[in-house]
A and B are shown apart, each in its own frame.
Chain A
């Protein structure tokens, strides 16, 4: 395990890109903090199940470089988001915006739940209606009383 760790460290040092990343972190922690906050909300397009903050793909590194530049230029979060969306589409955002094409996505689950609740109510009401309590006839009542008295003895 120790050897593996040493090997990884050596590889990182050798690749240079890792080293560069580290110096930039030290350079301006405030920028880096914002970069992480923004890029965690974005998808890396090369490895789609990774966030832009976590990915080590070349494109993700380049994009982080670009975003770092934008942050240093004093762009707002909304402007940075727009930079990404205008290039890669809403797909880069882990939280899709609410707009006509995503209404179904946002409202769909609630709609399905509504349908389910309605179906449940309808079913319960129909079942209630079908189960009219049966009245006992006088003869049956007498038999019940007789049986109960018998039981008490």
Chain B
């Protein structure tokens, strides 16, 4: 009979656990429906050479990292050194998407802070960003040889995310 008085306490503990889990979740991390779907096709002009085009076509059969950034994006600056470091490993091509930006501002950033990108596509009106479901820059995608998005990282890539998730995934995808 005594156990009956423990029921409210038990319910309370369950509620507290739900709250604890809920507080730990980040509401900004919306799961993308694009993971495990073919990466949206695009063809844009290049940032450095506006007369040249670049698109998903050019990356067929390759595993690549797609990083959406902009010169006005503060968190991108935080991410920049991590990408610089990663680009030195030459593991996969890093493709940038300069999202809703001015060419000269973006080029200024690359000149000052270094350029980790193999190619940067210029998405001035943000249409390609919309196709990729971008809602907060920076966002990054790992795309496999078949052109399927295998992973989406929201927010700046950290060294930890790179070492623990992104690099192991890339290595696995390169093998297949």
Contacts and interface: CB of A to CB of B under 8 A. Distances in A.
Q: What range describes how many residues of A lie at the interface?
A: 10 to 19
B135 A89 contact: no
7 contacts: A48-B28, A62-B130, A66-B130, A87-B34, A89-B30, A89-B133, A91-B31
A51 B72 CA distance: 25
B32 interface: yes
B136 A87 contact: no
B100 A87 contact: no
B155 interface: no
A87 B130 contact: yes
Contact of B135 (A45, A86, A90): A45
A33 B135 CA distance: 25
A45 B154 CA distance: 13
Interface of A: 45-46, 48, 58-59, 62-63, 66, 85-91
Q: What range describes how many residues of B lie at the interface?
A: 10 to 19
Interface string B103-145: 0000000000000000000000111001111011000000000
B135 A88 contact: yes
Nearest to B72: A58
B66 to A, nearest CB: 15
B24 interface: no
Given A59-B126, A88-B133, 10 more contacts: A46-B135, A46-B136, A58-B100, A62-B130, A86-B34, A87-B130, A87-B132, A88-B135, A89-B30, A89-B32
Contact of A89 (B33, B126, B131): B33
B27 A48 contact: yes
Interface string B33-54: 1100000000000000000000
A66 B132 CA distance: 14
